Amino acid sequence: MVTMDKVRVMISEEEIAKRLDEIAGEINNDYKGESVILIGVLKGSFMFLSDLAKRIKLDAEVYFIEASSYGSGTQTTGVVKISKDVDRDLKGENIIIVEDIIDTGITMDKVTQLLRARGAKSVKLCACLSKPSRRRVDIKIDYLGFEVPDEFVIGYGLDADEKYRNLPYIGVADC
Ligand code: IMP
Ligand code: MG
């Protein structure tokens, strides 16, 4: 059990806000005159998606998808199940998948494959965090917040046993 006072701040609220301004600026520029469909991956992306969406000045729709990766404990097996899907036709649309963290890349590999098969005009990936040292599948991240070292991070949507998602910053549990 980690208590809140044992959380070390890795990326502050201010740093996140600054990076979000930059990423949203890029997106607003890249899709000028077009509309976008933001698809957040539950649950971890909820806070990042919310802060990002507020900065997007395009016609936008928001949907969620839920992907569960099965394995023993914290080790992923590579078997990914979509437990909540997008209830909308995606043909001809600009999709931006919004994810909390790309770790092994296995979840995102499956989610992007699934969404790409639906005839969208474009599919891009926006992730708040990436742990490149852990990658097992090659994944292109079009818009990335921050690279982080191989440490288990919590907060800003990311959980440890469903807790700490509500922290406004990204932290590491020092126990
Ligand atoms: P994948 O290994 O890239 O498939 O990552 C799958 C999911 O594991 C991510 O979307 C996160 O929800 C979760 N995850 C990976 N690393 C961390 C972490 O450091 N803290 C909290 N959740 C994580
Ligand atoms: Mg996730």
pLDDT computed for residue 76 by the predictor: 63
- 4 C-beta neighbours (distance < 10 Å), count: 11
Which of 110-128 are b and which e, b meaning 16 or more Cβ less than 10 Å from the residue's Cβ?
bbbeebeeeebeebbbbbb
Q: Is the CB of 40 under 6 A from ligand 1?
A: no
| Averaged pLDDT score across all residues of the chain | 93
Do the beta carbons of residue 9 and residue 153 sit within 8 Å? no
- pTM given for the model: 0.94
Residue 114 pLDDT exceeds 60: yes
Which of 11, 136, 21 has the alpha carbon at shortest distance from 80? Answer: 136
Distance CA 59, CA 61 (A): 7
152 CB under 6 A from ligand 1?
yes
Is 100 touching ligand 1 by the criterion CB < 6 Å?
yes
Question: Residue whose CA is closest, atom 16 of ligand 1?
Answer: 103
Residue with the bigger pLDDT between 86 and 80: it is: 86
- pLDDT tens digit sequence for 44-56: 999 999 999 999 9
Q: State how beta strands 170-173 and 7-11 pair.
A: antiparallel
* CA 43 to ligand 2 center in whole angstroms: 6
Greater confidence (81 vs 54) lies with 54
The yes-or-no answer on residue 103 being catalytic is: yes
Q: CB–CB of 60/37 below 8 Å?
A: yes
* pLDDT tens, position by position, 17-38: 999 999 999 999 999 999 999 9
Q: In the predicted model, is pLDDT for residue 73 greater than 70?
A: no
- The answer to whether the CB of 170 falls within 8 A of the CB of 155 is yes
Those residues whose beta carbon sits under 5 angstroms from the ion ligand 2 are 44, 100
What is the average pLDDT across 123-145? 97
Phi and psi at residue 38, in whole multiples of 5°? -90, 125
Position 1 scores a pLDDT of 57
